[in-house]
Structure 1
Amino acid sequence: MSAMFQTNHKGNIERLRKDIARHGDNLILLKTEADRLDKSILDLQASLVKDRSSSVPSNTDGKSASHSEEETRKQILEQRNSAAGILCWMKTHHAILASNLPLINDVLGVVATLASVDNDNISRLLSEYLGLEAMLGIVCKTFLGVSALEKYDGDGLISTSSGLHGLASSTGRNINGRFLVICLEDLRQETYLFVVVFAVFLSQILDRCFIILNRPYVGGVVNNDLQKKLALPEPKLPNGKRPSGFIDFAVNMLNLDNSNLFCVTSDGYGLRETLFYHLFSQLQVYATKTAMISALPCITHGALSLDGGMIKKNDAFFLGDRKDAEVRFPVISEGRDLPATSCQTEDKIKLLKWERHSIGQDIGREQRLLEKTKANLKSLGD
């Protein structure tokens, strides 16, 4: 028993040391990102004077070569009576005010705005696969943030004067129908993903709220990968070979901003391990429909093909022409210039300040976790 106790004791000490190292690394990365944001904000503020004295002609056709972040934001704003549309409107037009509202202070963002992809075709495929409801899903960091979005009266009816419904009323709008809220929170010593679906027209709270629990991906990430892609095992055919035409898993084809790569949850898991793994799981992407069909023996969580093929998790095949998604992931663009007008620059500053505020909260949470882990290690006599 003594030997077993010593073995467990050493194991606990080693685990805590690794946790301390992980939290320390996360803090370094978060603080680096905070410094970058601070510098970007200062640079943009300094450029305002120049922007106001000059202008850059817009494109003659008024269109960009790819689907930009701005276009994604416009698509969300077009959903005027959706919860995501109201939230995006507040962040766009009143970013500083919104960042100080307890109601949405815990909101990380809308699913469609939390990742980008490499090209338009991938954007269309992944957005169509998820569908409009998921693309407009609101992501909160804690369950308290979820609770703040919707309030009820004594009869269990939704209060239209408080929460996100009250915010919508203040803008002259109403939230129509259900809206999806995804919560990332550490409960019962393990991290779960809560999906809470709010229904507007049902009178009982229990009828209005459905909770689905899923563990985050705990299999680790690819070594030395800057995007921290998930270390998912490659699909294998019955003969042990890699299927021809397999490109990647959808969850690893998303590009995340630095602010979303680290420490989204209190356990230090990022959006890829939690939110996007929940949404896409091990969805496979193939070059062609033919390759996808040939790989059916090793497709367990659905598949897409670059020429428009789609298989859902339940082995349902989707045939016919593609339907262009109403809200799509933005396409990553290298070397983007600063906004051409002072108005755009001011909007960019507001959004950066919103992001910087969120990073500050993550730093505080990571610092608390580091201190708690150090205290636990000390209590073991190390």
Structure 2
Amino acid sequence: MAVQPAERGVEAPPLTLSIFEFNSKVMQDELQKLALKVNHHEENIRFLKLELNAVEDSCADLGIKIGNYYSSMAAIANNDTSVEEAEQRTIQSILKQDETAAGIICQLKIRHYQHASKLPLMKDVLGVVATLGKINNDNLSRVLSEYLGLDNMLGVVCKTYDGVEGLETYDKEGMVDKTSGIHGLGRTIGKFLDGRFTVFCLENIRPFSGDFMIDDPQRKLLLHKPRLPSGEFPPGFLGFAVNMIHLDQANLSCLTAGGHGLRETLFYSLFSQLQVYKTRAELRNAIPLINDGAVSLDGSILRPNGSFCLGNRASLGIQFPVTANLGVSNLPVTITELEEQVKHKNWEKERLLEDIKRQEDLLNQVKDLFSKKKEQFMAYITQPGMLQRASQASPTIPSPATPGSNPFGSRPPHLRGR
């Protein structure tokens, strides 16, 4: 039907409320979809970064294993001390502390084994801290022993609190009964214990509450390694002291009633997350990343309270047994397997970095589009007089939106597909 000339000057009816609401809803729905896409890409990036952290941790662990492998092979070639010889050295140094609880217990177990094995008191005693773990580096053994101090290194370790009570009894006045417990046992071999001594009770120690490294025969603790803002590990970082203690099979199978072993009870209570670095300079550069103290192989000690131990290194005379043979039987016959694992992990790291970059690019694109659509939406709903004209319009007058009336280019359902 042709439009009459008189009708040409008549204005079109104002935008109705129904059209305004329809267009607003279309725009809001599209913004919501874009917001979901933003969340999707952000979740992908978070997941990929967790995967990247795990791969980098594996690379660091493999690097330490390769270093230990080469040092172990070199030490074995130079006829390094055997495990048995290393243990005997530590025991002999403890026996020289003959008027201590540790000295008496070692003497009873070594020289009076038949008699001591029948004593209820000795059945609950696992041994002395210095004899319950081994280390494959002499410098590390010295600095960790100095970090713990003589009292802790000579600490007696009991499985239960009953064992602690059995070590010492008291008379009615509260004085130590010198004829019973460890004091009485000392007298039977001509040793007289005087002064205080440290005792650790495994069942009373709050154990490490985290996870363990998967498929690790030593049941090392899964601890979060320090990272620089770039995501890399600080130079010189070798690991955590608690995981550098090697436990033999007998001590690995020693568990509390709650199923906790020596590493997550005794050694975690002694070292917590103490970090180990190659040099003093590297340790000091990493101070912002250190929470529970740190040591370096050249003798630096930073305690958890922030204090440094300065001056010449002190020799306690007691240290953990040292032998480079530790764990060599668990390593591959050649270094090829470890190096292949490193190559595979590096390839996996490159792939993850590419995936992260791709997700970040997509995220930026979606964010940009979201910002533009949001600006369009805000401009649409805040047009001068828009709400007033829409509210004055009759909602019963059908006036379908045209593409030009929708800033996102959307069309009403009955016009879609045309």
Give me the TM-score of the superposition, normalised by structure 1. Answer: 0.62
Q: Distance in 2 between matches of 1:260 and 1:143?
A: 19
The question of whether the paired residues in 2 share the 8 Å contact of 1:262 and 1:268 is answered with no
C-alpha deviation, 1:263, in angstroms:
4.4
Letter in 1 for 2:262: L
3-state SS of paired residue (1:104): helix
Q: Distance in 1 between matches of 2:158 and 2:284?
A: 37
The aligned residue for residue 148 of structure 1 is 166
Aligned mate of 1:159, from 172, 177, 190: 177
The aligned residue for residue 320 of structure 2 is 329
Aligned mate of 2:93, from 60, 70, 75: 75
Q: Within 5 Å, which residues of 2 pair with 1:306-321?
A: 306-321=297-312
Q: Deviations along 1:39-64, whole A, 9 cap, x unmatched?
A: xxxxxxxxxxxxxxxxxxxxxxxx96
Q: Distance in 2 between matches of 1:334 and 1:297?
A: 35
Q: Distance in 1 between matches of 2:285 and 2:260?
A: 35
Letter in 2 for 1:286: Y
Aligned mate of 1:280, from 268, 271, 275: 271
The aligned residue for residue 350 of structure 1 is none
Provide structure 2 residue ranges, at least 5 long, that are not aligned to the other structure: 1-79, 327-418
3-state SS of paired residue (1:103): helix
The question of whether the paired residues in 2 share the 8 Å contact of 1:83 and 1:175 is answered with yes
C-alpha deviation, 1:184, in angstroms:
1.2
Give me the TM-score of the superposition, normalised by structure 2. Answer: 0.57
3-state SS of paired residue (1:329): coil
Moved more, 109-118 or 121-130: 121-130
Aligned mate of 2:113, from 81, 95, 103: 95
Provide structure 1 residue ranges, at least 5 long, that are not aligned to the other structure: 1-62, 186-191, 194-214, 336-382
The question of whether the paired residues in 2 share the 8 Å contact of 1:282 and 1:301 is answered with yes
The aligned residue for residue 292 of structure 1 is 283
The question of whether the paired residues in 1 share the 8 Å contact of 2:82 and 2:325 is answered with no
Question: How many residues in Structure 1 have an aligned counterpart in Structure 2?
Answer: 246
The question of whether the paired residues in 1 share the 8 Å contact of 2:227 and 2:233 is answered with yes
The question of whether the paired residues in 1 share the 8 Å contact of 2:155 and 2:198 is answered with yes
Matched, 1:220 2:211: yes
Q: Deviations along 1:176-231, whole A, 9 cap, x unmatched?
A: 2110000011xxxxxx41xxxxxxxxxxxxxxxxxxxxx21121211111111110
C-alpha deviation, 1:97, in angstroms:
1.6
Matched, 1:121 2:112: no
What CA RMSD, in Å, does the superposition of the two structures yield over aligned residues? 1.8
The question of whether the paired residues in 2 share the 8 Å contact of 1:238 and 1:298 is answered with no
3-state SS of paired residue (1:147): helix
Which structure shows the higher strand fraction? 1
Letter in 2 for 1:219: G
Q: Distance in 2 between matches of 1:122 and 1:293?
A: 17
C-alpha deviation, 1:111, in angstroms:
0.3
The question of whether the paired residues in 1 share the 8 Å contact of 2:81 and 2:323 is answered with no
3-state SS of paired residue (1:314): coil
Q: Distance in 2 between matches of 1:237 and 1:107?
A: 43
The question of whether the paired residues in 2 share the 8 Å contact of 1:238 and 1:297 is answered with no
Matched, 1:130 2:148: yes
The question of whether the paired residues in 1 share the 8 Å contact of 2:254 and 2:261 is answered with yes
Letter in 2 for 1:325: L
Which structure shows the higher helix fraction? 2
Q: Distance in 2 between matches of 1:265 and 1:147?
A: 17
Q: Distance in 2 between matches of 1:176 and 1:217?
A: 34
Q: Deviations along 1:132-166, whole A, 9 cap, x unmatched?
A: 10000000000001000001011111000000001
The question of whether the paired residues in 2 share the 8 Å contact of 1:115 and 1:329 is answered with yes
Q: Distance in 2 between matches of 1:330 and 1:152?
A: 35
The aligned residue for residue 196 of structure 2 is 178
Letter in 2 for 1:234: K
Are residues 315 and 85 of structure 1, via their aligned partners in 2, closer, same or farther at CA, if it must alter by over 3 Å? Answer: same
C-alpha deviation, 1:71, in angstroms:
0.7
The aligned residue for residue 262 of structure 2 is 271
Letter in 2 for 1:302: G
C-alpha deviation, 1:123, in angstroms:
1.2
C-alpha deviation, 1:307, in angstroms:
1.1
Of structures 1 and 2, the larger Rg is shown by 2
The question of whether the paired residues in 1 share the 8 Å contact of 2:130 and 2:320 is answered with yes
Aligned mate of 1:139, from 157, 169, 194: 157
Q: Distance in 2 between matches of 1:227 and 1:77?
A: 29
3-state SS of paired residue (2:187): helix
Aligned mate of 1:302, from 277, 290, 293: 293
